[in-house]
Amino acid sequence: MKLRILHRTEYRYALPVRNNNNELRVTPLDNQRQRTILHLVRVLPAVKMRRYHDLHRNTVSFFEVEESHKELVIDVSSMVETKPTPLKAIPTDGPISALTLPEVTESFQPYLQSDGPIQITPQIWRTAVDARGDKKEVFGVVISLMETVHKICKYVPGVTNVNTTTEQFFKNPQGVCQDFAHLLLAMCRSLGIPARYICGYVYDPKRGEVLGSHASHAWCEVWIPGYGWLGLDPTNKRIVNEAYVASALGRDYRDATPIRGSYWGTGDREMRVTVHVEAK
């Protein structure tokens, strides 16, 4: 499948600002599941862009608007070719005990931590244990965890924010895709399953059927022995397929934030984000 992604971010400032520094993590990843055909970033006012890779191999585009301005517009256009997830290739009998091997715990240590927004409380661990039941295979366990997160949480925008922790969300499980993903990460890690945060986009052909498709979306990838990283979307309770495009990954939202910036200035700021994904 070929997907075209248009992602526009507009900032409007009540008073002039300057020295507006921004990091973008909006470049689609290139891996076995997806290939970038075209990627363009346009910024107004015009700037020089510098690109580098962070510790998670995300492409970071950095720019600074030094002169005084009251508006900043960032237009990102991408064309990506995606492939279906080869479900028949996923080993369903890989034992969860294989994840205790030193080569696994050492290699994936960043994706096993309880840190920042990922707070593994006794209540979250207990819920994960109950969801696991008597299952001993990694694939069966992570599917149960995803289904549990989807069942106990409700998609309600405006209740949480980017700083909401899993402990806070678990007490009142109403939020958005970021919160669903963070909770699944916490539950997986509480059982010793490596799990990482993914930010990207999802194509919704029926417009409104897929939760989170109106903006950048968030989901998880879990490590399956004998297979590798498998994408799971707890917000929509499904295995990631060719409708998904990943643009950044990390331990949690902080590592994969689409746009992060700072500037000199006072007064109110208004932000508007529009995302459109279509099949070509």
Q: Tens digits of per-residue pLDDT, 202-255? A: 999 887 788 888 889 999 999 999 999 999 999 999 999 999 999 999 999 999
**Other residues' Cβ atoms within 10 Å of the Cβ of residue 133:** 10
Between strands 154-155 and 69-82, the pairing is unpaired
pLDDT at 175: 97
- Tell me if domain 2-82+257-279 and domain 87-256 are identical in fold: no
Architecture, CATH, for domain 2-82+257-279? Sandwich (2.60)
Q: Looking at residues 251-280, what average pLDDT do you find?
A: 95
Buried b (16+ CB within 10 A) or exposed e, 230-258: bbbbbbbbbbbbbbbbbbbbbbbbebbbb
Show the tokens assigned to 137: 């295979």
Q: Tens digits of per-residue pLDDT, 160-209? A: 999 999 999 999 999 999 999 999 999 999 999 999 999 999 999 887 78
Show the tokens assigned to 207: 């417009």
Show the tokens assigned to 196: 């990482």
How is the chain split into domains, by residue range? Answer: 2-82+257-279, 87-256
Please, what is the end-to-end C-alpha distance for the chain in angstroms? 8
**Other residues' Cβ atoms within 10 Å of the Cβ of residue 79:** 16
Query: Does the pLDDT value for residue 2 go beyond 90?
Result: yes
- Number of residues written out for the chain: 280
Q: Tens digits of per-residue pLDDT, 101-134? A: 898 899 999 999 999 999 999 999 999 999 999 9
Pick the CATH number of 87-256 from 3.30.930.10, 3.10.620.30, 3.90.45.10, 1.10.10.10: 3.10.620.30
**Other residues' Cβ atoms within 10 Å of the Cβ of residue 146:** 26
